[in-house]
Amino acid sequence: MPRKSPVKHHRFPTDIILCAMRWYLRYPSSYRDVVDPLEACGTAIDRSTVFLWVQ
């Protein structure tokens, strides 16, 4: 049986979610530090959204 995606039914693409989670978990940073580079690339994400993804 194929595995279900843990990020299915989210507003953002899986690549964006995984990238934000990777940055937060890999480097000692705040949620704002994760959101700023994504906004520079044109993806508008709130800090609380990244918090929910990490949880």
The rounded distance, in Å, linking the Cα atoms of 22 and 8 is 17
- Assess contact for 38 and 45: CB atoms under 8 A: yes
Whether the pLDDT of residue 47 is over 60: the answer is yes
Stated pTM of the model: 0.71
Whether 36 maps to a domain, the answer reads yes
Whether 8 maps to a domain, the answer reads no
Q: Provide the percentage of residues in the chain whose pLDDT is more than 70.
A: 82
Sign for the CA dihedral angle at 49, 52, 36, 30 comes to: positive
Whether 21 maps to a domain, the answer reads yes
Secondary structure string (H, E, C) spanning the chain: CCCCCCCCCCCCCHHHHHHHHHHHHHCCCCHHHHHHHHHHCCCCCCHHHHHHHHC
Q: How many domains does the chain have?
A: 1
Whether the pLDDT of residue 6 is over 80: the answer is no
- The band of 3, judged by pLDDT with boundaries at 50, 70 and 90, is low
By residue range, what is the domain housing residue 47? 14-54
Whether 32 maps to a domain, the answer reads yes
